[in-house]
Structure 1
């Protein structure tokens, strides 16, 4: 079995049942997602890609906020995409949100969309779940149009939170195959330097989460 198929099976197993109540529970601890959507600020008539789109929650919120923009979502889990399609149809946004199944770390995964570059690419609490997250970031960078940006929000290192809270949180996250990326900042800085881009990285909520951005000048 390939690594992609193995990861897809794992994610389907994790979310087979969770997807039905995922959004109801995650709003309490996936903090900073709406800040990311606010900061996207894509150009009018632009195109935006979410890598690891899950239930479609972020795509729907962003499509409502930016009514002239086309949105695309990729996820490796077929179960999550089934839920996302249902949610998008309920929101009446099928004409502005397109979904595709694929591995975010594969730079060819978006080829079936027929779009080579995007104005914005974003990751929302997905890099901490991706086994080869560095490759996913690198792939996302190749999708950016001149002047484009990658936006990221994910779990931080809880550096300013009590030790007992950090210990419990990390143990709980591990049960869902989630690992905050201790070297996310250095990886982003390296990618930005190698591509002539700029990088922004900021802890949120005393380090509970982190917001980051890579910007390609254009």
Structure 2
């Protein structure tokens, strides 16, 4: 079944008001820490002072807001198809007085409007953004046009191999079989989305004329349970492990030690890739 723009808009319409509750889930706190640490070290800290970013499919602006907070000279765009998600981003912008630094635009990533070509230092898309679009490669090619020379494109995508494991572990064999063709889902309420492998993303970046600087998968040794796909809720076993602050930090340290092992990329829940123009 083909996922349409309407399916995507409708899916997020019912999640927008509660979407940021994901930050209260112990597993995603761990995943976010890993993602922020590697994104900051390998990309953001290498950018010129006063850099400009483009958050593709940025939704409620969770990551845009974090970048703007941590780098007070930065400016950026949050661009998304869902007006309901962007409404939450605008609330963040207004309540934090960021109107002069934060542009929020509704639109289709296949044909980006309102942003000048070669005007952005870093473009990023996190979590399921590339999964929901019709043509992931076309979207990446469109985003690349926004980058200045030497600019960075960063993607954090769903991992096909983990999606297969996840569905099989829940006994959803037909969902797993469907994934063998490259599209599927984590929950029965979501539309089918594209899933990716490390090699596939490497090929996409090559076709976009980007030099791949980093390719990794994480978290690699602890996976989300079913409740972690529901925005609200914590799987009991994961909670017992991760809600202990000391254990949380120890697992974070173990995951961090192996982040640079490219051979572990297929094992990660998500795939992280950085390319430079």
Cα distance between partner residues in 2 of 1:195 and 1:15: 32
Task: Please list the CA deviations of residues 51-75 of structure 1 after superposition, one character each: whole Å capped at 9, or x if unmatched.
Answer: 1010011100010111111111110
**1:51–1:121 CA contact under 8 A, matched in 2:** yes
Name the residue aligned to 2:96: 91
Contact 1:49 1:118 in 2 (8 A): yes
Q: Work out which of the residue numbers 141, 144, 162 in structure 2 matches 1:158.
A: 162
Q: Provide closer, same or farther for how the CA distance between residues 21 and 190 of structure 1 changes in structure 2, counting only shifts above 3 A.
A: closer
User: Distance in 2 between the 1:36 and 1:178 partners?
Assistant: 29
Superposition map of 1:15-164 within 5 A = 15-25=12-22, 28=25, 31-32=31-32, 33-35=35-37, 37-38=39-40, 39-41=42-44, 42-106=47-111, 109-110=112-113, 112-114=114-116, 116-125=118-127, 126-156=129-159, 157-158=161-162, 163-164=168-169
| Other-structure match for 1:209 | 270
Residues of 1 paired with 2:210 and 2:162: CA distance? 30
TM-score by length of 2: 0.65
Gaps of 5+ in 1: none
Q: TM-score, normalised by structure 1?
A: 0.81
Q: Distance in 1 between matches of 2:185 and 2:208?
A: 35
Give the number of aligned pairs. Answer: 208
Q: Is the 8 A contact 1:118 1:145 kept in 2?
A: yes
Q: Write 1 or 2 for the structure with the bigger share of helix.
A: 2
Is the 8 Å Cα contact of residues 75 and 104 (structure 1) preserved in structure 2? yes
Partner of 2:11: 14
Gaps of 5+ in 2: 177-183, 221-267
| Structure of greater relative contact order (alpha carbons < 8 Å, 6+ residues apart) | 2
Say if 2:51 and 2:121, in contact at 8 Å, map to a contact too: yes
Give the aligned partner of residue 179 of structure 1.
193
Q: Quick one: structure 1 residues 101 and 160, their matched pair in 2 at CA, closer, same or farther if it must change by over 3 Å?
A: closer
Deviates more, 1:114-123 or 1:131-140: 114-123
1:210 CA displacement? 1.1
- Structure 1 distance, partners of 2:15, 2:151, is 33
Contact 2:16 2:85 in 1 (8 A): yes
Change (3 A) 1:104 1:146: same
